[in-house]
Amino acid sequence: MIQAIITAGIIGACLGSFLNVAAHRSIQGRSWYGRERSACESCGHVLGALELIPILSWLIQRGKCRHCGAKISVRYIVVEILCAVLAMTIVYRWGLTWAALIAGIGTCGLVLNSLTDFESGDVFDAFAIAPGIVCLILRLAGGLWAFADGLAGAFAGWGIFAVIIFLSRGGMGWGDAVFMAGIGAVMGLKFTLFAFYAGIMTGGFWVILMMVIGHLHWGRGEAVPLVPFLSIGCFITMIYGPEIFAYLSRRMLSPEIFSLSWPFLATN
Ligand SMILES: [Zn+2]
């Protein structure tokens, strides 16, 4: 088990490095697949193998380009460490199961969309829809009901935002709706509904905190990216969903509502 968790950490750090570049280049309208090599943004020095090791390269070079000495954004190491921790958390919680695989693919989508929303306010439809479609197909391994649950999650995630957009007359973008549809297909109906609730609560708490310390001001129309908060809600649900639902079913009258759906079944 410990080997699996360490391996997950290494894969997570590498994926984080890749997702970071994919998000950043997409915003700039550059392609992130194909031949374009990673290079220093200041001097154009093409990075060698030793400069591409996640986390370690940044630490060894102390956040500077080896060639020209320009600063390399702290964002690189932060995202790489974050993704290592997320991957280790998934494998620690779910072991090597369908739930871990599906949560892992979903989390790649969460990280990508959070990065683009955070950097530029854009949500790329493809980054939301691709993990959703992949996980919908994987859901067939759990049977037709598991597949249908994914579809229901997608429609619910999209529907919530469609209603909000309708009621607020365009006060919110369709990017959030597409994002929630994609991750809804990954998580299924119940997890999607709870994740939305958890994400909105986290975002609301953050906004209030920022107003209290004076970083945000009421009525100035300052945009707060929503996807990172929804992502926090989604990740917490994919990890602690069974415990949360077990708790809710003890507190509420109808335990069936909180029973679990494939692949997030284990309560260990
Ligand atoms: Zn350089």
Q: What is the pLDDT of residues 42-74, one digit of tens each?
A: 898 888 888 889 999 999 999 999 889 999 999
Q: Higher confidence at residue 21 or residue 171?
A: 21
Give pLDDT, residue 113. 96
Three-class DSSP category at 46: strand
pLDDT of residue 267: 57
Asked whether residue 205 carries a pLDDT value surpassing 60, the answer given is yes
Cβ proximity of 53 and 149 under 8 Å: no
Q: What integer pLDDT is reported at residue 180 of this predicted model?
A: 97
- Identify the pLDDT of residue 98: 96
- Locus of tokens 């829809």: 129
| pLDDT single digits (tens) 148-194 | 999 999 999 999 999 998 888 766 778 999 999 999 999 999 999 99
Contacts of 174 (CB under 8 A, 6+ apart): 161, 165
CA distance 265 to 76: 34
Average the pLDDT over each of 10-14, 106-110, 208-212 and give the range with the smallest value: 208-212
Neighbours of 105 (CB within 10 A): 16
Give residues whose Cβ lies within 5 Å of ion ligand 1.
Answer: 40, 42-43, 45, 65, 67-68, 70
Does 14 have pLDDT greater than 90?
yes
What would the pLDDT profile of 68-100 be if each residue is shown by its tens digit? Answer: 999 999 999 999 999 999 999 999 999 999 999
Residue whose entry in the numeric block shows the structure tokens 């006060």: 171
- What distance in angstroms lies between residue 43's CA and the mean position of ligand 1's atoms? 4
Give 23's contacts (C-beta < 8 A, 6+ positions apart): 111, 112, 115, 116, 119, 127
Cα-to-centroid distance, 15 and ligand 1 (Å):
23
Of 109-123, 130-144, 205-219, the least confident: 205-219
Stated pTM of the model:
0.93
- Report the percent of the chain where pLDDT is more than 70: 97
First vs last Cα of the chain: how many Å apart?
A: 15
Percent of the chain with pLDDT strictly greater than 90: 68
Distance in angstroms (rounded) separating the CA atoms of residues 246 and 134: 28
Give 79 Cα–ligand 1 centroid separation in angstroms: 20
Distance 62 CA to ligand 1 centre (A): 13
pLDDT top residue among 68 and 251: 68
Side-chain-side CA neighbours of residue 104 (13 Å)? 26
CA 194 to chain centre: 16
Q: What is the mean pLDDT of residues 27-40?
A: 81
How much distance in Å is there from the Cα of 70 to the middle of ligand 1? 6
Cβ atoms within 10 Å, residue 140: 11
| Distance from residue 66's CA to the centre of ligand 1 (Å) | 7
Instruction: Please give the pLDDT value at position 34.
Output: 66
User: What distance in angstroms lies between residue 109's CA and the mean position of ligand 1's atoms?
Assistant: 30
Average pLDDT value for the chain: 91
Can you tell me the mean pLDDT for 110-118?
A: 95
The torsion angles phi and psi of 70, rounded to 5 degrees, stand at: -65, 150
